Amino acid sequence: MSAPKKTIVAPSILSADFTRLKDELQAIEAAGADWVHVDIMDGHFVPNLTMGPFIVEAFNKLTDLPLDCHLMIQQPERYVERFVKAGADWISVHPEAEGNPRLALEIAKKHGAKAAMALKPATAVWAADGVKDLIEMLLIMTVNPGFSGQEMMTHCLSKYAEARKRFGPDLLLEIDGGVKASNVAAVREAGVQVIVAATAVFGERDYTAAIRGLRGN
């Protein structure tokens, strides 16, 4: 598999209106979203608490879009099977998490999900070396995980070229954190194929225009 030409846009459901989840999922699907990014937080790995497997199960019933589940949790190996059985298509885990992220990815793959590693801004790209035989995507974060609506740390953009050099042409590179209309050109220029955005989609009135703007066509 080589990197897709078309940029994949994955709105992060974290900034959706949770009183209207079904409508929000249908709206981003109709607006041309490629995936739904789901931020799973445990209140330990990050200072915020969000969604568990039963919410992923509900999303899976409400949309046909692939669910890109970003696990910001300690001991991901304890929970990953439940997320995959709930309908996660992609599982990202952090090497900075306590526990056994490699085992978590092995379990994810065994149950049919695609595996990705997610790196905090301060983590070097070589931190993914130990799982390069397992992963199909590397998520390089451009904010510290925990909350949407933060400013992008633009110095992280140089890590995509480094990752491309280190891991070759086939690994998908995903960005998460602070992507918006004013910096998306630099993001695409950096060599990203998958753009996650919460505020820059759900904070806009016109989701179609927002997604088109992020994709760049």
Report the interface residues with ligand DX5, using CB under 6 A: 12, 14-15, 37, 39, 70, 143, 145-150, 176-179, 196-200
> Residue 84 touches which of ligand DX5, Zn ion, none (CB < 5 to 8 A by kind)?
none
Q: Which is nearer to ligand DX5, 114 or 120 (CB)?
A: 120
> Residue 88 touches which of ligand DX5, Zn ion, none (CB < 5 to 8 A by kind)?
none
> Contact with Zn ion (CB under 5 A): which of 39, 42, 68, 174?
39
Longest CA–CA separation in the chain, Å: 43
Is the C-alpha dihedral spanning 121, 126, 127, 129 positive or negative? positive
Distances from the Cα of 58 to the Cαs of 12, 52, 92, in angstroms?
16, 10, 19
Alpha-carbon span 139 to 211, nearest angstrom? 19
Smallest distance, Å, CB 187 to ligand DX5? 11
Q: Which is nearer to ligand DX5, 139 or 171 (CB)?
A: 139
Separate counts of helices (H) and strands (E) for the chain:
8, 8
Amino acid at site 95: P
The active-site residue, picked from 34, 39, 42, 68, is 39
Instruction: For the sheet with 8-11, list strands across it.
Output: 8-11, 194-197, 172-176, 137-141, 114-119, 90-93, 67-72, 36-41
Smallest distance, Å, CB 151 to Zn ion? 16
Q: Which is nearer to Zn ion, 42 or 176 (CB)?
A: 176
Of residues 55, 59, 122, 132, the one with CA closest to residue 101: 132
Residues in contact with Zn ion, shown as a per-residue x/- string from 140 to 179 under the rule CB under 5 A: ------------------------------------x---
User: Is 70 a binder of Zn ion (CB under 5 A)?
Assistant: yes
Active site residue 176: yes
Residue 185, burial from CB neighbour count under 10 angstroms (0-12, 13-18, 19+): exposed
Active site residue 17: no
> Residue 115 touches which of Zn ion, ligand DX5, none (CB < 5 to 8 A by kind)?
none
- Give the three-class secondary structure for 83: helix
> What DSSP designation does 71 have?
E
Smallest distance, Å, CB 143 to ligand DX5? 6
Placement of tokens 């979203």 in the chain: 33
Chain residue whose CB lies nearest ligand DX5: 148
Residues forming the site for Zn ion (CB under 5 A): 39, 70, 176
Residues annotated as part of the active site: 39, 176
